[in-house]
Amino acid sequence: MDDTILPPADLPRLTSARLELRPIEAGDVDALYAMFSDPEITRFWSSAAMTCREDAIALIEEINDYCQRGELMEWALCRWDQPGLIGTCSLGNLDRVNRRGEIGFALARPAWGHGYMTEILPVLVDHAFDTLNLHRLEADVDPRNTGSIRLLEGLGFQLEGRLRERWQVTGEVQDALFYGLLSREWWARPGQTAGLGRSA
């Protein structure tokens, strides 16, 4: 492994037993709108729920723009045996000089309860530390979002602080818990080895 971080615009496909992370496509507009217009999905998000299909189109354009600038890698989460997007995963705020990024994820409500994020997030973290050669991953999560907190802590993320009243979404002021994970902590986990995920 050298000291180079691959450019975010070079977005590989990452896979697990049931799932695939692939680039978001124009055909994902309706699935993205269905997911991010659901108030249960955006309850602890940093922006309000979408109100029209054009919001999803604008989101894809925004994702492409950030990716081209090298600040974001965002994937559609799909099942191998079913067409269509069921969620998203991202590495954002990418800083190639300091070798860090911020992990993010969302899952459509019909896909809850199947262990999909527990299955795919280790593949994404492995990709960040192994292939991209990041040194540190961060996560910003609402203190009330107990599901995401359990996922992050299960991956080995450590709580590093509470950012008071960091977000103001639809008139509601929200705190944020700040989590961090270092590459050496990830590789020190029992049974953890490089190359967990496959990329193509």
Q: Tally the C-alpha atoms within 13 A of residue 189's C-alpha that lie toward its C-beta.
A: 18
Copy the structure tokens of residue 160.
Answer: 């590093």
- What was the pLDDT predicted at 28? 94
Nearest to 73 by CA among 12, 141, 147, 148: 12
Paired tokens of 85: 């997007």
> Between vectors from CA 90 to CA 30 and to CA 119, what angle results, nearest 5°?
90
> How many whole angstroms separate alpha carbon 92 and alpha carbon 102?
5
Of 166, 168, 185, 184, give the one whose Cα is nearest residue 176: 166
Residues 103 and 75: their CA atoms lie apart, in Å, by 12
pLDDT along the chain (200 residues), means of 10: 49 95 93 93 81 93 88 94 93 94 95 96 96 96 92 97 82 87 94 54
β-bridge mates for residue 106, sequence order: 88
What was the pLDDT predicted at 14? 96
Domains of the chain: 14-199 (3.40.630.30)
Q: Which residues of 98-116 are buried (b: 16+ CB within 10 A; e: fewer)?
A: ebbbbbbbbbbeebeeeeb
Phi, psi of 104 (to 5 degrees): -145, 155
Rounded to the nearest angstrom, the gap between the alpha carbon of residue 156 and the centroid of all alpha carbons in its chain is: 16
Backbone angles phi, psi at 142, to 5 degrees: -65, 135
Q: What is the pLDDT of residue 149?
A: 96
Max CA distance (Å), the chain: 47
